[in-house]
Amino acid sequence: MARRQSQKEDNLVRILRYALGVAPAEFALLPDDEGWVPVKELLAALHQEEGWKHLRQGMLNDAASRLVPELVELDDKRIRVSERSFQPPDYGAAPPAHLYLGARRKAWPVLKRRGLEETHDGRPWILSATPEAALRLGERRDSEPVLITVQAHQASDQGALFPAWGEYFLCAWAPAACLMGPPIEETVIPKKPAKPKPAPAGPAMPAADSMPGSFLVDPDDVEKPYKRKGITKDIPWKRERRKDRRGK
């Protein structure tokens, strides 16, 4: 049992060292200038790798605090390794005529209007040379990503840059006119129907004995009086009839 656990820990250190320090481009991960990668992106990338669907934040915390604190560093929502040997993006590479992006459905209407711009944290988009690879990357952010085609040559003529990042290409800006995708109506996510609100409760009825002129009915009072204990069944008109019969 201890040997198996030790092997799992060694594998974890090995994959972190490789994905963050040696070949992040193979996982479509783009560290910043200081080597940081968002933890969320690392988990999404490794979950697509065979044998790593079980990876969780706690395991990364363990690697940084106990296993190899000299190698793995966690900072809030970012992670990096101290030993980094990967090459920077290649700005001399020539992109193909078309590149592809797997975008979130909610993002496509904005991209269609504004084009590609740097993300909120100032990082470029990662594009693929094939639709299949683009959709696979898009599934990290949306279960049903939208496939967007980027006309790279036309965008390059307008000043866009597409440096190569392993088998992928980066793009910090591309005009909206160079993006092609499905009709916006087809990508709108339907809203879930609102749950019906419960009908407001009516005013509470006051207790029967609290209403003027009211009283509680005893079930015994409803029954025939002669069926109650201690009461004899004696009806006057029947009594008179019996007397008449005896007098004859």
Domain boundary among 187, 211, 239: 187
Domain range enclosing 29: 2-81
Least reliable range by pLDDT among 102-106, 167-171, 190-194, 229-233: 229-233
Which CATH number belongs to the domain containing residue 11 in this structure? 1.10.10.970
What is the C-alpha separation between 36 and 23, in angstroms, rounded? 14
Is 171 found in the same domain as 107? yes
Is 64 found in the same domain as 115? no
Mean pLDDT on 54-80:
97
Least reliable range by pLDDT among 7-11, 28-32, 83-87, 231-235: 231-235
Question: Does 174 map to a domain?
Answer: yes
Is 173 found in the same domain as 112? yes
Which CATH number belongs to the domain containing residue 177 in this structure? 3.20.170.30
Question: Does 139 map to a domain?
Answer: yes
Per-residue pLDDT at 111: 97
Q: Specify the pTM.
A: 0.75
Question: Does 151 map to a domain?
Answer: yes
Number of structural domains, the chain? Answer: 2
Average pLDDT of the chain to the nearest whole number: 88
Is 120 found in the same domain as 71? no
Question: Does 217 map to a domain?
Answer: no
Per-residue pLDDT at 243: 65
Per-residue pLDDT at 121: 82
Mean pLDDT on 124-152:
98
Mean pLDDT on 66-86:
97
